[in-house]
Amino acid sequence: MNRMKCRRCKAPAVVEVRRHNAAFCRDCFEHYVRAQVVRAIAHYDMVGPDDRILVAVSGGKDSLALWDLLLDLGYRADGLYLGLGIGEYSSRSGDVVRAFAGERDTRLIEVDLAGEYGFDVPTAGKKGSRSTCAVCGLSKRYVFNKAARDHGYDVIATGHNLDDEAATLLGNTLRWQTEYIARQFPVLPAEEGFARKVKPLYRLSELETAAYAFLRGIDYVVEECPLVAGNTQLRYKDAMNQLESTSPGTKAQFFLSYLDRAAPLFATQDDAHLTACERCGQPTTARFCAFCRARAQILGERLGGPSNEPVVIADLSEEVMPVELYGANP
């Protein structure tokens, strides 16, 4: 049997990393993954040894792999799980996240979207003007930031991987959304009510985070979100994967070269002035933050009190606040 050999130790390989023209055995692959995360953290000074990190965990491979890696590297990393109310999918997600935290005896903060804010994601997709994925992402960014501030964490870590970042950059570039491109970076520093946000997996592909999670014995949710069909991000990923299949390394070159060579060219346009949302106090560029506006629309409420001019519901579909101010994917 002609098995691939590990680049480091020549043992039989279990994971191939085509863009590096390499394959690794189990131990050497875990070493490779840790090295990529250590390099990412060091290069952008993402977290310090005393920082309290809040890891946004969904139950998927990326966020649980990230939590595992940060704990393994000795960081003070707790988890935050947001219950989205997507039937069996959310039930299973919550179960695997709780099991992960229990096995490692580490803290998990849970927030239930319906219990805390009065709506779940399936309802939001039907009643609001935003797509299901858009309101889901908006809710996550809002809750993650609020939880980090409420519980005194220094930094929020998310499991965005190389495929996520390359697909997002492709989408933003196709539309030349320069203000979004300017803020697509592996670290967003803390500012006026926003906790620092970091993406330590940005050097690792989706295949690599999945292989790492599998090899580490992490029970993660393999099933795709039932509401994600037709998601634009998936179409961009598909396009990138087609390029990658004939030209390994395309994704990495596209995103990592953007960071090295193109990002500085976009990094001058951020003149957004942040103020406190009149409803919830979270930072926003408008009178009310995007989350409060979306929530009001979903619940059929009007924003603003007796002393304020009410916001017209028809205006709520306008995205005054750039999504990327929160630093996650659109």
Q: Is 61 in the site for other proteins (CB under 8 A)?
A: yes
- Tokens standing for 150? 């409420």
Q: Which of 11, 228, 262, 320 binds other proteins (CB under 8 A)?
A: 228
CB nearer to other proteins: pick between 2 and 268: 2
Contacts of 88 (CB under 8 A, 6+ apart): none
Calpha distance 127→149 (Å, rounded): 29
Contacts of 216 (CB under 8 A, 6+ apart): 30, 65, 68
Q: Which of 28, 133, 198, 321 binds other proteins (CB under 8 A)?
A: 133
Task: Name residue 236's amino acid.
Answer: Y
Q: Which of 140, 149, 279, 293 binds other proteins (CB under 8 A)?
A: 140
Calpha distance 195→153 (Å, rounded): 8
CB crowding 291-324: b at 16 or more within 10 Å, else e: bbbbbbbbeeeebeeeeeeebeeeebeebebbbb
Contacts of 120 (CB under 8 A, 6+ apart): 84, 85, 86, 113, 114
CB nearer to other proteins: pick between 225 and 311: 225
Binding mask 190-219 for other proteins (x = CB under 8 A): ---------------xxx-xxx--xx----
- Tell me how far, at minimum, the Cβ of 318 lies from other proteins, in Å: 18
CB nearer to other proteins: pick between 173 and 250: 250
Classify the C-alpha dihedral 33-186-293-54 as positive or negative. positive
- Tell me how far, at minimum, the Cβ of 245 lies from other proteins, in Å: 5
Near other proteins in 146-175, by CB under 8 A = 158-160, 163-164
Residues at the site binding other proteins, with contacts judged by CB under 8 A = 1-4, 13-16, 18, 23, 56, 58, 60-63, 133-138, 140-141, 158-160, 163-164, 205-207, 209-211, 214-215, 222-225, 228, 231, 233-234, 237, 241-242, 244-245, 328-330
